[in-house]
Amino acid sequence: MRRFHCRISCLIVVSFLFSCQEKVSKLELLQTTIQSQIDSIQGNVAVAFYNLSDSSDSLQINADEEFHAASTMKVPVMIELYKHQAQGKLNLSDTIFLKNEFKSIVDSSLYSMDIGDDSDDVIYGKIGSVVTLNDLLYPMITVSSNLATNVLIELVGARNVTATMRDLGAEKIQVLRGVEDQKAFDLGLSNSTTAKDLMMIMKAIAENTAGTEADCKEMIAIMKDQQFKEIIPFYLPKEVTVAHKTGSITGVHHDAGIIYLPDGRSYVLVLLSKNLEDFVVGTEQLAGISKSVYDYMVVEKKN
């Protein structure tokens, strides 16, 4: 009888080992596929993937390389706003006088945002009036309003944003300033991030550790209304829901988000790029990487 139980135990262990080996092989195949896609892109690319349904299932390529954060830094600002609210420092229903005047982090000289350089033209019609913080938070994420971002980051403080990201396990991300601070940019003082850090941040939101459960659900709901869908969601089926934030400047196009599959599983995916020689082509190729990860998740479920 003891030998019988021993044989059963051995079979279970062997079966488990084969299952693990098969899983590793599939992940290695995914890495090979994505690396090939990266090699075809004329520019620098970083990828971070994390299966929220299975913590052992993750992939990182160039994930520690630093990139200009572009508008992905607006997610950390959003998290800080909810943190301030939880601490009783503000309420997102509070009102604020909307101005278009900001101080450079270099010398405190004043500068203003240009509607021609912003992706949100609606908010400029509200300058000189009173708006709620929610009126600014929502377009900061969904249409990447630069004016809204600068007002909000001035309110909560860039240093506080970075400190909170450290608490979430994001070790390198730097939120130094608002948008269009030309003097800071000329001195190389720009917001930066890594794919790994954005993965950690999105993971924290998905797992309700970036704030209260209710606050994280609100953040996810806002990111699901993202209006720029050229990368992560582009090749995915309509029944797949994506809560994400994009970012772009010259030669740079990013997307970081949480992908929700119809079967209840979810995963985090971060795609960063810089030095893109052809922005349009590069964007489509990044979308192709997203499709490869989705295909991997679908095949993994079937097997």
pLDDT tens digits for range 172-189: 999 999 988 899 999 999
Q: How many distinct structural domains can be found in the chain?
A: 1
**Residue 47: its pLDDT value, please?**
98
**Residue 300: its pLDDT value, please?**
67
H or E segment to which residue 51 belongs? strand 44-51
Examine residue 34 and state whether it is found in any structural domain, yes or no.
Answer: no
Examine residue 16 and state whether it is found in any structural domain, yes or no.
Answer: no
Examine residue 119 and state whether it is found in any structural domain, yes or no.
Answer: yes
**Residue 152: its pLDDT value, please?**
97
Position 82 pLDDT exceeds 50: yes
What digits encode the pLDDT tens for the residues 130-151?
A: 999 999 999 999 999 999 999 9
Q: How far apart are CA 31 and CA 174, in angstroms?
A: 28
What digits encode the pLDDT tens for the residues 250-303?
A: 999 999 999 999 999 999 999 999 999 999 999 999 999 999 999 999 986 665
Examine residue 127 and state whether it is found in any structural domain, yes or no.
Answer: yes
Q: How far apart are CA 105 and CA 107, in angstroms?
A: 6
**Residue 24: its pLDDT value, please?**
62
pTM for this prediction: 0.90
Cβ atoms 156, 77 nearer than 8 A:
yes
- Which structural domain range is residue 162 located in? 40-302
Q: How far apart are CA 184 and CA 194, in angstroms?
A: 20
DSSP state of 70: G
Q: Looking at this protein, which amino acid is placed at residue 155?
A: L
Q: What is the mean pLDDT of the chain?
A: 92
Examine residue 292 and state whether it is found in any structural domain, yes or no.
Answer: yes
CATH value at residue 129: 3.40.710.10
Examine residue 25 and state whether it is found in any structural domain, yes or no.
Answer: no
Examine residue 8 and state whether it is found in any structural domain, yes or no.
Answer: no
What digits encode the pLDDT tens for the residues 95-129?
A: 999 999 999 999 999 999 888 888 888 899 999 99
Examine residue 65 and state whether it is found in any structural domain, yes or no.
Answer: yes
Size of the chain in residues: 303
Q: How far is CA 300 from the centre of its chain?
A: 24
Q: Looking at this protein, which amino acid is placed at residue 48?
A: A
